[in-house]
Every structure is written in C-alpha cells, then in structure tokens.
Amino acid sequence: MNIVVCIKQVPDTTDVKINPETNTLIREGVESIINPFDAYAIEEGVRLKEKYGGTVNVLSMGPPQVDASLREAISLGADEAYLLTDRTFAGADTLATAYTLAAGIRKIGDVDIILMGRQAIDGDTGQVGPEVAENLDIPHVTDIRKIEQIDDQGSIYLERLLEEGYVRLKTKLPVVITVVKEINEPRLPSLKGKMLAKKKEINTWSAKDVEVNEKRLGLTGSPTQVVKIFTPPKPAGGKVFDGDIKDSVGKLLRELRASGILMGSEKGDE
Amino acid sequence: MSSIEVIFDKCIGCGLCVKACPFAAIELVDKKAVINEKCTYCGACVDACKKYQAIVITRHTFEKHDVTQYKGICVYAEHRHGKLSSVVAEIIGAALKLKNILKVPTSAILLGHNVKPLAEEILSYGVDEVWMIDNPKIGDFAEDIQAGLVTQVILEKKPEIFLGGGTIFGRSLLPKVASNIGTGLTADCTELEIDPETKLLKQTRPAFGGNIMATILCQYHRPQMATVRHKVMKEAAKTDSTQGKIIEMNHIPVPDPVIEVLEFVQEESETVNLADADFIISGGRGIKDPKNFALIQELAKAVGGAVGASRAAVDAGWIPYSHQVGQTGKTVNPKIYIACGISGAIQHLAGMKGSDIIIAINSDPEAPIFDVAHFGIVGDLFEVVPELLKQING
C-alpha cells in the first residue's frame, strides 16, 4: 500500500488578529503547527500501513520552514517526507495548490491512497482534496469517518459523514480521501520516532524537479484573488441577566418576544 | 510569471512594510526592504508603502478565458431522497438578487433520476431555465460522475456565475468541477454582490475560523464559482405562475459510477441535523454527565431544535461527534443558538458565531461566551434550563 498524506502547516491558533491600521493579519508570536485535521490523516495513514503494509509518504507545499512539520509527521510514524518549495509556488489559491501537490504525488509514483484533513483551519476551504483528485483523474471521497477495509481486489469500504447521518461507500483504489476528526485518535510521537525525525532527510523539490506548466503555479496559476480582508462586525452589546433566575428567564423571553424572535410554544405550533 | 519587486531607488528603509507583512517575509538589509521566500503575494506591503510606491507586484494569469462568451447565473440544484435540499431555495434567492443587477437569465443544473417534479419546483422559484439530465445511473451521492456532467453542461451553456450550496456534498462536488474547468472557486461564502463598475462577483467569506473576512474576485476565468454557506442567504419565494422552461440535456453521456453506495444511515435522533435546524441547543463541559444531556434534549424538543455540543462534551464521550459544533466539528448558522455550560473557546466560537441570535447560559460571568452572546443568563444551567422550559411551556 503506497500512501501519501498531504499536510499543511498553519498558525497554531484561530485567534488571529487584524492590524486595524494596515488591515492585515498579525501572525507575530503565533507558532506554526500541522493542520489539526491533517494530524488525523497522518494517523490513519500509519494505521493503514500497520494493517496492510506499505509506505506512508507525507507531502507538503510551502516555504522551507514547513520542514519542521514534515519532521513531526515522521516522528508520528510517516516513512518518507517531501517538501515542494519554490518561489513560483507562492501566492497559490486552491486550484494552483492542488495542481502542484498532484505533480508531487505523480513524482512519488504508484500511489494507492491519498489522505488529507477535511479542511485547513486557516483557509477553511476543504477544496484541495477534490481538486487534487481531479488533477490525478481519480475519484475522491470527503468527510470520511471510518475506513472499514481494503480487500484484495483493491476495493475500499468507507463511511462518510453527512449532515443527517452517514453513508457507507465502496470504491476502487487509487482514491483521495479527506477525513474528519471522528476517524481516530492520533498517537503521540514516540522517542524513537523523534530521534528518527531529527536525522531524516527531507526530499525537497522545486518547480524544476516536478513536471509542471509554470503558468499553473502560485499567483500566476490562481484564478481567484483576495481583494479585501477585514474583521467581521461584533454583535452589538449583548444583554446579560445575572439576577434571580426566574426573573432572568422571564426577562430573556420578554426580550425575545419584543424583538420578534419567537420561540417554541409561542409560535403556536407545540 | 508573477513577481514582487522592491524598487531600491524609492525604498527609504522606513520598515513600514516589515511591520505590515503578516508572514514575516520582509527584512531590512542595508536599509532596503528585501523580500524572502515566505512571501505569499498578499499585497499588505504594497498598501503599507503607498507613500513611496517602492514595492510592486506584477500579477500574471494563466490562460485567460474569453469572459464575454459567458452569460447568466446558474445554481446547482442539490437534492437527496427525492427532495431539494433546503439550501437550493437560498442560493436561488441569492441568484435572483444578483440577476436584478446584472439583468441576465438564471438557470439551475439538475441531475438525477425521475427528477422532473424537482425541475418544476425549481421553476416555481422564478428560475428561467432548468438544465436537466435524467438518468438512472445518477445516484444521490454520486459526485464522481456528477462532476463530469456538471462540467459539460457548464462548458456548453457558459454561465458567468455558478453557485452551489456550502453543504458536505456541494463542497465536494464544486471543487472537482472548478478544477476540471480550470476556474476559481470561493468556499462557503456568506455574502455575494456585484461590483457596480466591473460587474464582477464579489465573494465574501469567513476564514481563520470566522476571525477574519475576505472578499475574493475571479477576474479572468469563468464561471465565477462559489459555494454558499447554508442558512445565510434569504430563500427565494415560490410563485404560482412559472414562465421558465426545462431543457433536457440527455445528449451528454452518463458514465458508470466508480463510487457505489452500500447503505445510507439516517442518524436515529432527529436532533442531529444541525445544518437544517433553526434552533440549536448546545451543551458543554458544564453538563457534567452524559445523563444530563436529556435536559438539553428536552429543551431542544420544546422549541423544535437540534442538539449541539462543545468539543469538551464530545471528547468526554458524553455525546457522539456528529453533534460537535466548532472548528473540528460542524459550522452552524441557526436563528437561535443556546449555549448551555459552554465557556466559549475560540474553536467553539468558530463554529457558531454566524448564528442570528446567540444566548449563553453559564454560571461563570467571566466566560468568553458572553462576549459573543446577544443575550446571556448568569446562573447554573440545571436551574436555568428547567425554568426556561417551564416558562416556555407556560
């Protein structure tokens, strides 16, 4: 089983502030981590390897400091690490990112399963998985909460989370799978893993090392353009009732009625 | 190729750009700004250097489309088990609003089997055309074949704007379509408007867990594609007189699916569909014991709502993951969200900040949940919730 796990390095918190003067993100003092959803993908890759044998390759695109996240993935049980890093990759939207990652996956070669988290906590798009699948011309399944089994015929059985329940699916390898948190509980890095991660050679590829059309990379290959960034307006001064509880509840319901927000029995439908 | 350049003759080494850069990608070397490999071309430095204009970004774009060939606003009509998803009326509502400005026809892409009644329902919202492929091979969860079909319909019909629901299915299908066509896609938009001058679609969406908003354009590629967050746009109203028509597109061949649906399992409790709920009652660490979720259930039943939970309650094993609201769970936008015994960690807020009305019930008056709540009650939830039930049931 040749497994690729795509990971993204993201800022450690969603508590990102905006500099009101420059209208830009303040990332100062914020540590970088592996996107939390991708951590589940790494763990699932390692579990599949433990069950079916094979190799777990971890792949990322980004500036050179992503090296640290790839080493962390090694400490968590990944076997090989690949970093796509080049000035021409910078400024990529999801289309250009997926195009570049797909080129990296092709270079790794003969891949059976591509795993990633359902979305990154900075961009929150969830688009790269399906877009990588399209680039590789293979199917994808999103929001997977369980990989039931992979049989000898190369069929994979999965459970996909939906809004109102879940659906059990069967498809053929190779496939791109995005995972939700429910799928597993990631292990902590072992001491041996940490030692290994320190010494591990990270394969670093620039645009020249992979087969790509340069026009499809980075800013040039990105159809979308961010034209404005701003902080969402805060809710206008909330009303907090901190007196007697019966009184507080009464006041709350009166407020809700007064502002035309009806609840339950007051709609007359109970 | 695109590039970013510092014009050394104009750079006075003031360092404003260094401060403005969110990625720590600029250093001062010999009193001149030098941009390193962390740069993402975000443009913050260019804004910071307005006075001296010493930083220039040259943006090139691959294979521009002939945008004049594309006309009209199209939506993807998601449906399941023979019913249109509730998000469809919302994106039609958004499309009709855009139509008022652009003065172009609206349309919907409808794929499935025996879906003609759904096509008629779509027309009743005032959509001009439904582009329909009716084929038994197109199942409810078949984005593997649907992506190819949607792509072909779009390439044939050439709408300038294509919108889908920000549902689990929509957010899986549309990226595949966008990638297939080679156009841009903006995820989970909460605001769509037309720029009065350029007539481009301004797509606004939350990022970083809702802590910032970004407005995005897709200038040179078509269609301009977006998924739209559920429960944000106002639903279109149904009318009796429909003038639109159904265009069958069965000349497009339907391939065999590669993804096979073995079983669909509806979650037993009706209170789990957080995406569709108008009321959500959530419990957190303050619930203390799995048994106590019964109280939350009771309140949810009383108001006809769904039950949510914070990560703390899910991680403690008190309630299944499908109920989790927040960054690593679901993002919800109900009319009323009642947080019971939830302190309001950033990660939780990321999943529910978009609710119309937030009501917090917490015994700790300093809990951060009160900062985002429209209404709050300071008190023990085991006293407040029963009192709430009593007064609601009156």
B303–A123: do the CB atoms touch at under 8 Å? no
Note whether B3-58 and B270-393 share their fold. Answer: no
A240–B44: do the CB atoms touch at under 8 Å? no
Taking the C-alpha atoms of residue B215 and residue B42, their distance in angstroms, rounded to an integer, is 13
Express each pLDDT in A68-101 by its tens digit: 999 999 999 999 999 999 999 999 999 999 999 9
The answer to whether residue A51 is domain-embedded is: yes
Chain B residues touching A90 at Cβ < 8 A: 37, 39-41
Task: Report the CATH fold assignment for B270-393.
Answer: Rossmann fold (3.40.50)
Residues A172, A130 share a domain: yes
Residues A145, A171 share a domain: yes
Residues A202, A82 share a domain: yes
Residues A212, A163 share a domain: yes
CB A4 within 8 A of CB A113: yes
Left, alpha or beta for A109 (phi > 0: left; psi -120 to 50: alpha)?
left
Both tokens assigned to A224: 């979308």
Express each pLDDT in A156-178 by its tens digit: 999 999 988 899 999 999 999 99
The domain total for chain A is: 2
Of A127, A167, A253, the CB nearest to B141: A167
Taking the C-alpha atoms of residue A80 and residue B366, their distance in angstroms, rounded to an integer, is 47
- ipTM of this predicted structure: 0.91
The answer to whether residue A228 is domain-embedded is: no
Task: Report the CATH fold assignment for B67-248.
Answer: Rossmann fold (3.40.50)
The answer to whether residue A227 is domain-embedded is: no
B23–chain A Cβ distance below 8 A for any pair: yes
Mean pLDDT of A11-15: 71
Q: Chain A: give the shortest CA distance to residue B279, in Å.
A: 9
Q: Identify the pLDDT of residue A12.
A: 81
Residues A240, A121 share a domain: no
- Dump strand ranges (E) for chain A: 2-6, 9-11, 17-19, 24-26, 32-34, 55-61, 80-84, 113-117, 140-150, 155-161, 165-172, 175-179, 203-205, 224-230, 239-241
Residues A173, A62 share a domain: yes
Taking residue A167's Cβ as centre, other Cβ atoms within 10 Å add up to 20
Residues A82, A27 share a domain: yes
Residues A175, A50 share a domain: yes
A151 burial (CB, 10 Å; 0-12 / 13-18 / 19+) is: exposed
Mean pLDDT of A193-213: 97
The answer to whether residue A222 is domain-embedded is: no
Give the residue among B385, B272, B269 at the shortest CA–CA distance from B324. Answer: B272
The answer to whether residue A39 is domain-embedded is: yes
Of A121, A223, A230, the CB nearest to B209: A121
**What are φ and ψ of residue B60, in 5° steps?**
-105, 160
Q: Domain residue spans in chain B?
A: 3-58, 67-248, 270-393
The answer to whether residue A224 is domain-embedded is: no
The residue in chain A having the minimum alpha-carbon distance to the alpha carbon of residue B320 is A182
A169: domain CATH number is: 3.40.50.620
The answer to whether residue A56 is domain-embedded is: yes
Residues A69, A132 share a domain: yes
CATH class of B3-58: alpha beta
Residues A244, A173 share a domain: no
Residues A246, A197 share a domain: no
Q: Identify the pLDDT of residue B212.
A: 81
Q: Identify the pLDDT of residue B256.
A: 94
Express each pLDDT in B130-177 by its tens digit: 999 999 999 988 889 999 999 999 999 999 999 999 999 999 999 999
**Structural domain span for residue A96:** 2-216
Q: Identify the pLDDT of residue B231.
A: 86
Residues A237, A105 share a domain: no
DSSP-derived letter for residue A113 is E
Mean of per-residue pLDDT scores for chain B: 93
